[in-house]
Structure formats: structure tokens, C-alpha cells
Amino acid sequence: MSDHLYLAPRSKAALVWRSVAGLSALTLAVSSCSSGDDGEEAGSSEASDAPSTIVLINPNSNEDSTQSMVDLAEEEAGDQANVVGVSNEAAPPLLTTPQDMEDAASGVVDLGIEAAEDDDVAAIIVSAFSDPGLEELRDEVDIPVFGIGEEAFHAAARDGREFGIVTITPDEDLVESFQEKADSLGYADQYHGVQVTPGDPDEIVESPDELDEALADAVRESVSSDGSEAVIMGGGPLSGPALRIEGQFEEPLVVAVVAAVDAALEEVGSAA
């Protein structure tokens, strides 16, 4: 992971999302360096050497959350890829139940299909921990699609580590879905369950200090009571808080967005 914030240059290829018929469409605006044949040739050469683009889809409609995750993804990607984010405007600002995830899936698929139509887009990240629409989108596009939940499980379980999850969403069915994911990915023996922060998730996310304190307490419980050797921060919006509190722990906190970006970069690099 990068030691400093690096914002991938966008002066030559600015990625812009615009609303069309209720959906968000991706357009690529390429500005030439100068006029004339020499400028066009130089612009063409620079475009061919430009980094690939990773599209990060936030399955909820919270623009602040989208930007926060994009900032984190850009820092992790450095100059290896450009990252552009888009929010699912048809979804609520926070997804807290399996029904929320199911309702958000169609919007994720629509946005992903549109993104994949651009030749400069090399990979897509579905940036909600339950990975809504992930498998459906994979069936619809020819570029790799990564879910932050799935990649967080892979990262946490690496080298046989036992791991748990911390989340702010108390829905029992949603919590049960984490066990199902561990089972489906082959990590049932390593998975040690979930610690949920107390209180209303919609309220706690509005207070960064309260959120950080609650998450830190939940991480301690996951380590001391559940025996976790690594702890997944269960939610895309929890990535920022995870970075703020990780210094309090010897055990690694798995940041789901970072795990997905790393997987995407590995795939994009191997395909180059």
C-alpha cells in the first residue's frame, strides 16, 4: 500500500459520469496537448501509454461514501491505474439488509454494463461488502469484476489465518450471509464470526469519533473473544475508519476496498 496519497493524473483523460434516462453513463473526454498533426500524434501516443481505468461502483447512493472509497482506491492504485467512481442513485444511502442488497443489484449490473462498453475500462469493483450484483455482472461483461467482500475474505484468510468481521449493520440475515460466504469460499474453518457495533448504523456513521470508538471496541472483541488473527472491516464505508484505527492493533485490519483494488491491479497487470 502506498505511503502517501497519489492522485492519478486526469488532465489527458478525464472520466465523467452523466445522467441518461435515470442511469449514469460513462463518457471519456480526451483533450489534446496541442493543435496540428504533431499534437494529434503526441496525444495518440500518450493515450496508448495511459494507465488502464478501474471503475468503482458504489451500490448505494451516498456520494460522500463513493468519493471516500475512490480516494482510498486511488491511493492504493498509485500510477498503475486511474480510478473512477459512480453511485447507484436508485438505491438508499446505506444498505443494511439483504433486501437492500437485492434491490441494489440491478442498478449495479446496469452501471457495470455501461462501464464495460468503454475500451479503456479494464476492471470493475463492486464496492459494498455483500457484493450485490457481483455474479450477475460477471455474467454480463467480458472484463474482470471484483467484489470487495469476496476479496476481503481472500485477503483475511491468506496463509491459513483465522479471521472475523466487524460491521455496523445488525440485520441477522445479513450477518448470516457472511457465514454463507465463508462457506462458499472454502473458509468455514477459519471464519470466527461477526462483531456488530451497538446502535443505529445510520446514526453512528454521522459521527466519525463515535464510529471509530465503536469499531475499535468491536475489533478488540473479535480478537480477544473470537480468537481472530485478522479482522475484516465489513463495509466499503468502513475503509476510512479502518485506516484511522489500525495503529491500535497488532492484528491486521483488512480494508475491503484495498483488497479489491489489489486484486484488480494484479489482474490488469497480468493481462497487459
Q: Secondary structure of the chain in the HEC alphabet?
A: CCCCCCCCCCCCEEEEEEEECCEEEEEEEECCCCCCHHHHHHHHHHHHHCCEEEEEEECCCCHHHHHHHHHHHHHHHCCCEEEEEEECCCCCCCCCCHHHHHHHHHHHHHHHHHHHCCCCEEEEEECCCCCCCHHHHHHHCCCCEEEHHHHHHHHHCHHHCCEEEEECCCCHHHHHHHHHHHHHCCCCCCEEEEEECCCCHHHHCCCHHHHHHHHHHHHHHHHHCCCCCEEEECCHHHHHHHHHHHHHCCCCEEEHHHHHHHHHHHHHHHHC
pLDDT at 237: 82
Query: Per residue in 110-136, pLDDT tens?
Result: 999 999 999 999 999 999 999 999 999
pTM above 0.85, yes or no: no
Average confidence score pLDDT of the chain: 85
Q: Which domains does the chain have, with CATH numbers?
A: 13-148+258-271 (3.40.50.1860), 151-256 (3.40.50.12500)
Confidence grade of residue 147 (pLDDT, cut at 50, 70, 90) = very high
Query: Per residue in 162-192, pLDDT tens?
Result: 999 999 999 999 999 999 999 999 999 999 9
Query: Per residue in 51-106, pLDDT tens?
Result: 899 999 999 999 999 999 999 999 999 999 999 999 999 999 999 999 999 999 99
Residue 4 has pLDDT above 70, yes or no: no
Per cent of the chain over pLDDT 90 is 74
